[in-house]
A and B are shown apart, each in its own frame.
Chain A
Amino acid sequence: MKEQLNDLVKRASEEAKKITNESEYLNIKSKYLGKKSELNTYMSNIKNMNSDDKKLYGPLFNKLKKEFDNLFTKYYEESLNKNEIITFDPTLPVKEVDGSLHPVTIVARDVTNILKKMGFMVLDGPEMESEYFNFEALNIPATHPARDMQDTYWLDNGLLLRTHTSPVQARAMQKYGAPIKMCVPGRCFRNEDLDASHENTFFQLEGMVIDENISISNILYVMKGMLREVFKQDIEVRLRPGFFPFVEPGFELDCSCTICGGKGCPTCKDTGWIELCPCGMIHPNVFEESGIDSKVYSGFAFGLGLTRLAMMKYKINDIRYLNSSDLRHLSQFNIR
Chain B
Amino acid sequence: MKISCNVLKKHIKNSEKIDFYSIWDTFTIRTAEVEKVEKKGMNFDGVVTAKIIECEPHPKSNKLSVLKVDNGKKQLQIVCGAPNVKVGLIGALIQIGGHIDDIEISARPLLGIDSYGMMCSGKELGISDDHTGILELPANTKLGVNIKEILPIEDIIVEIDNKSLTNRPDLWGHYGIAREIAAITGNSLLPLELDDTKLDKKDLKIKINNPELCYRYIGTKLEKIENINTPMWMQIFLYYAGMRSINLIVDLTNYVMLELGQPMHAFDANIVNEIEIGLANKGDKFTTLDGNERTLTNKDLMIKNGGKYFAVAGVMGGLDSEITDNTNSIVLESASFEASTIRKTATSLGLRTEASSRYEKSLDPNLTMDGTKRFIKLLKDENPNLEFGSNITDVYPKIFKEKEIILDKKLLYKYMNFEIEDSIVENILNLLSFKVKILKDRFKVTVPTFRATKDVAIAADLIEEIARLYGYENYNEVPLNMDLTFNNNETTYEQEYEVKEYLVNKHNFNEVNTYLWNQTLFLKYIDVLVDNVKLIGKNEDNILRDDLSLSMLESAYINTKRFENIRIFEIGTIIENGENKRSLSILLSGDTGDLKNIYNEAKSIAYHLLKTLKNIKPIFELSESKNYYNNELTQNIIVNNNVLGQINVFNRNISNNINKKKCFVVININFDYYSQINKENIIYNEVSKYPITNLDYTILSKRGEYYQEFEKIIDNFTSPIIIKRELVDIYIENDIKKITIRYTVGSKEKTLTSEELKDFKEKFIKFIEDNDLSIILE
Contact = CB atoms under 8 A, between A and B. Distances in A.
A88 interface: no
Interface in B443-476: 458-461, 463-464, 467-468, 472-473, 475-476
A24 interface: no
Given A217-B476, A336-B505, A298 B514 contact: no
A128 B573 contact: yes
B554 interface: yes
Interface stretch (B25-33, B44-52, B705-713): B25-33
Contacts of A327: 510, 512, 559, 562-563, 566, 568
Nearest to A215: B417
B515 to A, nearest CB: 6
A185 interface: yes
A99 B475 contact: no
Nearest to B492: A124
B514 A128 contact: no
B246 to A, nearest CB: 30
A127 B573 contact: yes
Contacts of B514: 323, 325
Contacts of B28: 240
Contacts of A124: 490, 492-493
A145 B361 CA distance: 11
What is the size category of the interface that chain A forms with chain B?
35 or more
A298 B408 CA distance: 14
Contacts of B578: 157
Most buried by A among B473, B475, B493: B493
B357 to A, nearest CB: 11
B31 A216 contact: no
B480 A119 contact: yes
B167 interface: yes
Contacts of B534: 155-156
B19 interface: no
Contacts of A97: 508
What is the size category of the interface that chain B forms with chain A?
35 or more
Most buried by A among B414, B472, B559, B575: B472
A230 interface: no
B513 interface: yes
Given A127-B516, A179-B483, A328-B562, A100 B554 contact: no
B535 A154 contact: yes
A331 B497 contact: no
A215 B347 CA distance: 39
Q: Is the interface of A mostly helix, strand, loop or mixed?
A: mixed
Nearest to B536: A154
A159 B33 CA distance: 34
A215 B29 contact: no
Interface string A124-160: 1011100000000000000101001110011111010
Given A101-B504, A128-B533, A155-B534, A249 B417 contact: no
A309 interface: no
Given A149-B537, A238-B29, A176 B475 contact: no
Contact of A239 (B472, B489, B500, B573): B472
B536 A101 contact: no
Given A211-B480, A238-B473, A240-B28, A148 B415 contact: no
Give the 9 A-B residue pairs with the shortest CB-CB distance, closest first.
A249-B464, A215-B417, A325-B555, A143-B340, A99-B504, A217-B478, A243-B167, A99-B508, A221-B477
19 contacts: A99-B508, A99-B510, A101-B500, A119-B487, A122-B490, A122-B494, A126-B573, A128-B575, A145-B360, A155-B544, A157-B578, A213-B481, A218-B478, A221-B480, A252-B33, A298-B414, A322-B513, A325-B513, A327-B563
Given A284-B460, A325-B568, 12 more contacts: A99-B504, A99-B509, A121-B489, A155-B534, A181-B480, A200-B515, A213-B481, A240-B33, A243-B167, A248-B458, A249-B464, A325-B559
Interface of B: 28-33, 164, 166-168, 339-340, 343, 347, 360, 411, 414-417, 458-461, 463-464, 467-468, 472-473, 475-483, 487-490, 492-494, 497, 500-501, 503-505, 507-516, 533-537, 544, 554-555, 558-559, 562-563, 566-568, 572-573, 575, 578-580
